[in-house]
Structure 1
């Protein structure tokens, strides 16, 4: 929608809120509504009921109080070392993760649908991985094209016929959701290999409870602090047979990895060792950790290292991050990895288009959470459609993440579109495209007022003895006005996510 046509909030509700905000000097002058679903405003005439108390509270805060709270939050993040790494930027790689103090609120009814949909999805994707690495029924019956699976760079032939503990291939998942114009949550992406960001979810909550304790209590927000203990319980449940008190470690690429803060945070919260590849060794297909008192057996590895780098004997021979012989120990059943080798095939962006069919095939159910319409450039007719409409599409490389390898058509130049057209023609299997979606916007504190910014939601799903989902997730924010890119590596930030108990 042209900005000139973008409606402002109705004068009556704006004046009512503005009266409350008289002492805070905050304004709604730049809060313009468009066709996107607004998390706070139910059209131009009213607030969504669950945001009324929030606006009342923030509107009553003097500006000096708000400034002090913002400074306290920033200092807390700084003291905790809550950072992320941006690669390829000349101005420096280490940054404090941007944080917006206005929480994103989700009602109990909305969350119930999200929770059921995520449980359904992880169950079906686990069955899919078990099937393609064993019987291959879904391939034989033509539900998912065999060539699409076998051409995926994340398909690991070494995993064919290998049994994994409890048949759980994906124990930890971060699923990216967006909300459409009608308010419906849909799945934008599945992150099954090494999903990150959960530490920001947890630290956002800790800071929010500290700086707005009364508001937090008034809302009856469901807790998320149990996540690390749920994760620990999930990892324990996947231990090899005969190891009732398993030794669990978190395997990190090291301090230069973009998510190293998270690796250290989670290991500390779970009370397990944080290790790098050089800390582990294998003997007779058993993994051991080097300690000052000698070698200690390792039973479960929560790995934050990609397949390609995890075992130089099987995958990339030049990797300095992995453990030689780890795959053989895994194949022998002497150590469990979460997530399993080869799970990346199920979060390939081209395979994403088949998840609704995967759910129907294994569960005989309709998807509770729908997909975004997706065009596979590997299909000639769909490729022609994409190339003819690049200015309207979002194009993604199937193996990229973090906002990299992506073209946002409406915000691109002719030169960029020509470059992507050449890439698509050269390697169509490597690209998919989706319509540009103006997903939901939530209020953010910007300078002296409230402004809407686009947000997504990444809930975290655990799968061990059962499926566990903490009520909330990481709400990521496109802090740049008009931007649709929420990734921290591309200038995005985050919010606390409040799921209401009733």
Structure 2
């Protein structure tokens, strides 16, 4: 792994600046104490109930998310540079969403083909002409980043619909503070604990115009069998708001109201954690038992804020992602501060031909895929897997994009044999409201716990780390 950049040791084995205090502390620690602390962390997660569900598997429906005690550390200057790029990108995504549901200037300008929007299953015609309260479509955004060298980050994908994992970010920090308080006295680490308060304030600032007094906010969950249910309950509890399911809500006198012990009470802002298709059986999937009949009519009339807005999923589309450099430039007039990973759109015949010829060297993903499912990592795939994927690609080329296999950076994890490098990515969380854009310093670092693996998703065997942003 000599050619891979390690964020603690660089390429030459010398401890990098952000890690020097941590490295000095680590050298003075007894490995047996650290092993005990690693077990203690796992027990804390088990007691707290920090789990996720794995779909499509009969065994072990609910799993403990693995946590590693070695933090990922980012310098303040590096974070400042990253933040500027993230903010620029999020502003562009919001402007893009407003445009495609109104005048569609980017299509008229020839910067994006019309069929990329019109034939996209994430595009909602029901949102045409609708402007959400405050003009905000993406209230909570997660931008997935990968690092390949010192200060060199690429955007891997955008999560503008319902980005998950923020509860792990908060619990990771709480666990580290509890187990290693001395580390935080040695290092000036920027806090993340105010995220729930910031989230509540940001959501309240997006209340609809007819809201009287302090806005009533709720979190809409599909229920206990959802993979992120722990997070839904956690965030509702941390914000001090109600966690509701579809059957707890109904439309009364043109408002969405939730059931309480004192009867039904109007709700102003709904942080929804269910997909568009299930929000409203009268407007979308008539079979849905998870949504609220008529909520879209109230929303279009300006009677409630839904965060994130219906239809934002088109910005998650990996084929749209490939146009993000053009989108950023079109709406901001600036060159993108954060680069995309080079991407081949398999819907285009020349790109498809190249991808089919180079499957063994590429990463191929479904345009609407998530969680590490439905993807091919060519360099680690068997000949049989590649042949199977080739048939899928030929049958539905527009359903896929392909990217080169990047040399993702590594960060050490704590193993029985000591520290060992593992590949990581980073998901910073961004809150957007009429008051501005707020980026939580750090975010969620996901780590591939298997040696050499590039797949960091918890559903595919990955774990998480605490992410430190240092004060300069």
**1:124-143 alignment to 2 at 5 Å?**
124-143=92-111
Q: Once the 2 structures are TM-superposed, how far is the Cα of residue 61 of structure 1 from its aligned partner?
A: 1.4
Structure 2 spans left out of the alignment, 5+ residues = none
Q: Once the 2 structures are TM-superposed, how far is the Cα of residue 36 of structure 1 from its aligned partner?
A: 1.9
Q: 1:492 aligns with which of 448, 462, 470?
A: 462
| Structure 1 counterpart SS, 2:112 | coil
Q: 2:86 aligns with which of 89, 112, 118?
A: 118
Partners of 2:398 and 2:116 in 1: how far apart? 8
Partners of 2:397 and 2:437 in 1: how far apart? 36
4+ runs deviating over 3 angstroms: none
Q: Once the 2 structures are TM-superposed, how far is the Cα of residue 45 of structure 1 from its aligned partner?
A: 4.4
Contact 2:367–2:400 (Cα < 8 Å) also in 1: yes
Partners of 1:71 and 1:390 in 2: how far apart? 40
Q: 1:50 aligns with which of 3, 8, 18?
A: 18
How far does the alpha carbon of each residue in 1:72-131 deviate from its partner, in whole angstroms, 9 at most, with x for none?
Answer: 212211111111111122321111110000000000111001110110001001000000
Structure 1 spans left out of the alignment, 5+ residues = 1-32
Partner in structure 2 of residue 26 of structure 1: none
How far does the alpha carbon of each residue in 1:238-266 deviate from its partner, in whole angstroms, 9 at most, with x for none?
Answer: 10113131111000010000000000100
Partners of 1:58 and 1:337 in 2: how far apart? 46
**1:126-275 alignment to 2 at 5 Å?**
126-181=94-149, 183-243=151-211, 244-275=213-244
| Structure 2 counterpart SS, 1:489 | helix
2:37 equivalent to 1:69: yes
2:279 equivalent to 1:320: no
Q: Once the 2 structures are TM-superposed, how far is the Cα of residue 180 of structure 1 from its aligned partner?
A: 1.4
How far does the alpha carbon of each residue in 1:448-489 deviate from its partner, in whole angstroms, 9 at most, with x for none?
Answer: 211000000000000002000111100000001110000000
Contact 1:285–1:326 (Cα < 8 Å) also in 2: no
Q: Which one is further off, 262-271 or 42-51? A: 42-51
Q: Which has the larger radius of gyration?
A: 1
How far does the alpha carbon of each residue in 1:126-162 deviate from its partner, in whole angstroms, 9 at most, with x for none?
Answer: 0000001000100111111110111111000010011
After superposition, the CA RMSD in angstroms is: 1.1
* TM-score calculated relative to the size of structure 1: 0.92
Partner in structure 1 of residue 436 of structure 2: 466
**Count of paired positions:** 470
| Structure 2 counterpart SS, 1:321 | coil
Contact 1:285–1:325 (Cα < 8 Å) also in 2: no
Q: 1:82 aligns with which of 50, 54, 71?
A: 50
Q: 1:425 aligns with which of 365, 389, 394?
A: 394
| Structure 2 counterpart SS, 1:101 | strand
Partner in structure 1 of residue 447 of structure 2: 477
Q: 1:435 aligns with which of 381, 404, 407?
A: 404
Partner in structure 1 of residue 2 of structure 2: 34
Q: 1:370 aligns with which of 325, 339, 344?
A: 339
Q: 2:419 aligns with which of 450, 453, 458?
A: 450
| Structure 1 counterpart SS, 2:69 | coil
| Structure 1 counterpart SS, 2:318 | coil
Partners of 1:217 and 1:497 in 2: how far apart? 16
Partners of 2:11 and 2:391 in 1: how far apart? 42
| Structure 2 counterpart SS, 1:180 | strand
Partners of 1:501 and 1:393 in 2: how far apart? 38
How far does the alpha carbon of each residue in 1:1-29 deviate from its partner, in whole angstroms, 9 at most, with x for none?
Answer: xxxxxxxxxxxxxxxxxxxxxxxxxxxxx
